[in-house]
Amino acid sequence: MIITYTITVTNAGPGNANNVLLIGTVPSGTQYVSGSASGGFGPNSLLSQQFSQQSLSSLSSSSSVVTWQGSVPAGGSHTMSYAVRVTALGGVITATSRILLDNTEVYTNTISSLVQAYQGFLPIVRR
């Protein structure tokens, strides 16, 4: 089972939103599969974007996160998506996303998904 998380920020303007940091957790009981980022400008070039998976000391040491940092132009938006494969057999998978602007947290959201254990059925054959 694959779960995809998408974080979109929109800048209503009038100026560019510089030093935007998007953080999405890779929940325990899952494994990072892939990610993409589009719409904003990365920190090193007006045409490049940075998309990375790393551990942040501000989260628990066992938490893995996906981040994007850059600028969102006035009137523009930026979307970061990432996919995880569920490795847990059951329980609740919880992911938290955070948006920071100039090192100030401006938005936090937590999403939980229920994963049910696989059920196996053995046929009973009467002879």
Backbone angles phi, psi at 66, to 5 degrees: -115, 135
Residue 95 has pLDDT above 70, yes or no: yes
Question: CA 107, 109, 114: angle at the middle one, nearest 5?
Answer: 175
Q: Which residues pair with residue 31 across a beta bridge?
A: 85
- The CATH class that applies to domain 2-115 reads mainly beta
* Nearest residue to 18 via CA among 107, 114, 104: 104
Give the model's pLDDT for residue 89.
82
pTM, rounded to two decimals: 0.76
Query: Which pLDDT band holds residue 61 (cuts at 50, 70, 90)?
Result: very low
Q: Which of 7-11, 38-42, 49-53, 96-100 has the lowest mean pLDDT?
A: 49-53
* Cα 65 to chain centroid, rounded: 7
